[in-house]
Amino acid sequence: MIRHFLTILTLFAAVLLTSCSHKTAAVPLPTPTAFGAAIVESSGGKQTAQAGTALPQPVVVQVNDEQGNALPGALIEFNAAPGVIVDPANGLTDSSGQVTTNVTLGGMAGRYQIVAYTTDKGRKRVALTIEEIALGYQQTLGRQLNDQYCERCHNPESTVERVSNFDNLEVKPHPFAEGDTLNKISDADLTAIIGHGGPALNKSALMPAWGNTLSKSDIQALISYIRAISDPPNRNAGPVYARN
């Protein structure tokens, strides 16, 4: 009697378990037809977007074989901190050896690491870490001020819509991502340069004083933006979010 009862109980439990695990089971991974040796970034790293929003450009990574040629049919899996949406989260490389994915950053400002994995011939994992930058409220405000007042001189790249003035300046301004230089300048010094112009710190007069145009909180917002996009990262850039 008890034995019967036990078998029924086990059966019931088994059904319950399978039905539950069925619910949470992920979509099966596609089966790779090739195994590469290395994984490299094609584009989409170091982008900035507001926290919680989608990156403007997709992230594209490529799998190469031993000879360094693009390899189609290899499996790439993406991994990121909770809260980050990587869509699709995996895929086989296309005819040019690439997988393209769209990334929505987590809700907190800081840096987000997205790790792309592939498996090599020895079934070993090869990984590539890509970093993206999420801007908080203050940094977003800073970015707007940068677009309005700073970028045309401080960004050496021209676009169709915005011609850069960088090359016209005798003393070259520092691009804001230039962490090697800007990380060495304290917040107080940056505030002084922005507010009172280059001469305040014995730098070029081509950097005008913005203290009468921008408010104190504007200048703080600009500095927080500069710190956020710095490369290499500034220690005030906020935390790094990676998969635990």
Partner 1 sequence: MKDKLKSLWQKLFGDSIRAFGVVSLVFLVSLAIAPAKNYFSEWRHYQHGYLKMIRNRSDAVTLQRHFQGEIQQIWLPELGVVDRCTSCHVGLKEASLADVNVQPFRPHPVIPHKLDQFGCTVCHRGQGAATTVAEAHNSTLAWEQPILPAKYIESSCGECHRGQLPGAPQLNQGRHLLSRNGCVHCHTVKLPDGKIMKATDDPPSLSHIADKTSREWIYAWLKDPQAYASTATMPNFKLSDDDTRDISAFLIANSTSLPEDTATLSAKPSSDPAAGASLYGESFCASCHAVQNAAGNLVGGNVGPELTRVGSKVKPEWLQAWLRNPRNYDEETAMPHYRFNDPQVATLSGFLLAKADSDLLANVHLEAATPEQIAHGKRLVSDYGCASCHEIAGIKKPENFAPELSRIGNKPVTQLIFLPGMQHTLPDYIAGKIKQPRAFAPGLKMPQYTFTTAQVDSLTTALLALNDRAATLPPSLLVVAPPESNYQPAGKAGKLMTDLACFSCHRINGHGGDMAPDLTWEGSSVQRQWLVEFLKNPNTLRPSLIRRMPKLNLTEGEINELTDYIMTVYQSPAGGRDSMPLSGYPQGQVELGKQLFYGKYACQGCHIVDSKTDKGYIGPTLTQVGSRLTAAWIFEWMKNPQALRPGTAEPNRAMSDEDARALTAFLISQKSGGKSEVARTKK
Residues 6+ apart with CB under 8 A from 158: 164
CA distance 27 to 10: 27
**Residue 123 contacts residue 69 (beta carbons within 8 Å):** no
Binding window for partner 1 (CB under 8 A); candidates: 19-27, 61-69, 117-125, 149-157: 149-157
Does 210 interact with partner 1 (rule: CB under 8 A)? yes
Count of residues interacting with partner 1 (CB under 8 A): 49
Sequence-ordered alpha helix ranges (H) in the chain: 2-24, 137-145, 151-154, 179-182, 187-196, 216-229
Which one among 25, 160, 188, 202 touches partner 1, defined by CB under 8 A?
160
Sequence-ordered alpha helix ranges (H) in 25-154: 137-145, 151-154
Does 206 interact with partner 1 (rule: CB under 8 A)? yes
Does 44 interact with partner 1 (rule: CB under 8 A)? no
Does 165 interact with partner 1 (rule: CB under 8 A)? yes
Does 48 interact with partner 1 (rule: CB under 8 A)? no
Which one among 140, 146, 191, 230 touches partner 1, defined by CB under 8 A?
140
CA distance 101 to 242: 18
Tell the burial category of 167 from Cβ atoms under 10 Å away from its Cβ (0-12, 13-18, 19+). exposed
Binding window for partner 1 (CB under 8 A); candidates: 20-28, 40-48, 64-72, 106-114: 106-114
Please state the closest distance from residue 6 (CB atom) to partner 1, in A.
Answer: 21
Q: Which residues bind partner 1 (CB under 8 A)?
A: 50-54, 56, 83, 102, 104, 106-110, 136-138, 140-141, 144, 148-149, 152-153, 160-163, 165, 167-169, 204-206, 208-213, 217, 220, 224, 236, 238-241
